[in-house]
Amino acid sequence: MQVYADNAATTKMSEAAIRAMVPCFENIYGNPSSLHSVGQEAKEVLEDARARVAKCLGCEPREIYFTSGGSEADNQAILSAARLGQRKGKMHIISTAFEHHAVLHTLQKLEKEGFSVTYLDVKQNHNITAQQVKDALREDTCLVTVMFANNEIGSILPIAEIGAICKEAGVPFHTDAVQAVGHVAIDVKAMNIDMLSLSAHKFHGPKGVGALYCRRGFPLTNVIDGGAQERGKRAGTENLPGICGMVAALEDAYANLETNATKVAALRDKLITGLSQIPHCALNGDPVNRLPGNVSFCFEGIEGEALLLLLDMQGVCASSGSACTSGSLDPSHVLLAIGRVHDVAHGSLRLSLSEYNTDEEIDHILTVVPQVVDTLRRMSPVWRDLMTGKREFIL
């Protein structure tokens, strides 16, 4: 049995998304900027896609800018707000300590330019409160950028409350909603969101395509310069096949949101209950406000990397921290931010589910994970020290 439980890293494409892309390769191959009929046909498909994305988010079509994915949308949103702030002499940004690197590294670059960034603490409930945002606001705050849901530990942040606070204070509000779009209901107007990033491959669409929602009137700064595509704000011939695949996946996700969320959350809860039986473990992430598909644990006395390799041999594809962190030996910044010490953070496991997972697959995971954790612990010198009392248990 092969179980794919790494949907926070990327998802399998849906049939609908694949079907929607094929005509773009076969027939609708024109360049939407071309004035002839083949180009104009592509342009019509492009604008139809824009309107459909807008409908799913509750905004106007002209507020949607297609990008190459979530990272690009994050970069553009943050840089745009920073440049606007700079022009007004406002150079303070509020964010959280557990953002995705697309946000964190952009903020670090701005800090080198002289911006000051407040990274809100996420130790309480592995989440933030809207009050923390309110308390951090300053006269010179030019942006609040707070993720909608965390990719490693699944916490869903109080976005509507934060939006209301930002609106009242007149401070632009961006949210990296890459993990939330297609999985959680979103209305950018009702939630007072000024900018929102999304990425197709996190909701069964293709890789390399995403979008930035930007409230009408907010001045975007180009990250990619060139032609006049996307109202002059994002150059480059549009990825029409990708965009068509994304729209189909997005509509599919929102048409089945309740059904999928209920199904996936039941699988998640079964996994969490089962894995909690393993001694000396801890659940990461907000236990209540949590993505339907996220299961994240730390197991004391093991190495996450070894755990992943043994699980893969048993047919379980999982992750330890984010995909980018898995390539390095530093423990995940997210796990450190929620207060896990290095040793504990190293023994992390993230299982991220989708509606394609089955009850039988959950049973398989529940058989395999406790066995593999046990095997690794019996080989571990750290575990021996814990058992003999030379070292104290943390979990």
Ligand X SMILES: *Cc1c(COP(=O)(O)O)cnc(C)c1O
Return the structure tokens found at 46: 């492009």
Name the segment binding ligand X (CB under 6 A); options: 13-21, 31-39, 66-74, 187-195: 66-74
Asked whether 180 and 291 are in contact (CB, 8 A), the reply is yes
Find the binder of ligand X among 17, 56, 102, 349 (CB under 6 A). 102
Q: Which residues are catalytic?
A: 324
230 binds ligand X (CB under 6 A): no
- Using the minimum distance from each CB to ligand X, give the nearer residue, 118 or 179: 179
Map residues 193-222 to x or -, x wherever contact with ligand X holds by CB under 6 A. Answer: ------x--x-------x------------
128 binds ligand X (CB under 6 A): no
Segment 136 to 155, residues that bind ligand X, using CB under 6 A = 147, 151
CA distance 383 to 375: 11
CA distance 230 to 284: 39
183 binds ligand X (CB under 6 A): no
Distances (CA, A) of 19 to 23, 26, 203, 205, 208: 8, 12, 15, 11, 17
CA distance 24 to 132: 46
Local structure of residue 213 (DSSP, 8 states):
E
Which helix (H) or strand (E) segment holds residue 38: the answer is: helix 37-57
- Using the minimum distance from each CB to ligand X, give the nearer residue, 300 or 355: 355
352 binds ligand X (CB under 6 A): no
CA distance 187 to 180: 12
Find the binder of ligand X among 71, 95, 141, 294 (CB under 6 A). 71
Find the binder of ligand X among 43, 50, 90, 100 (CB under 6 A). 100
CA distance 386 to 316: 28
69 binds ligand X (CB under 6 A): yes
Instruction: Kindly list the residues in this chain that would bind ligand X in the complex (CB under 6 A).
Output: 69-71, 74, 100, 102, 147, 151, 176, 178-179, 199, 202, 210
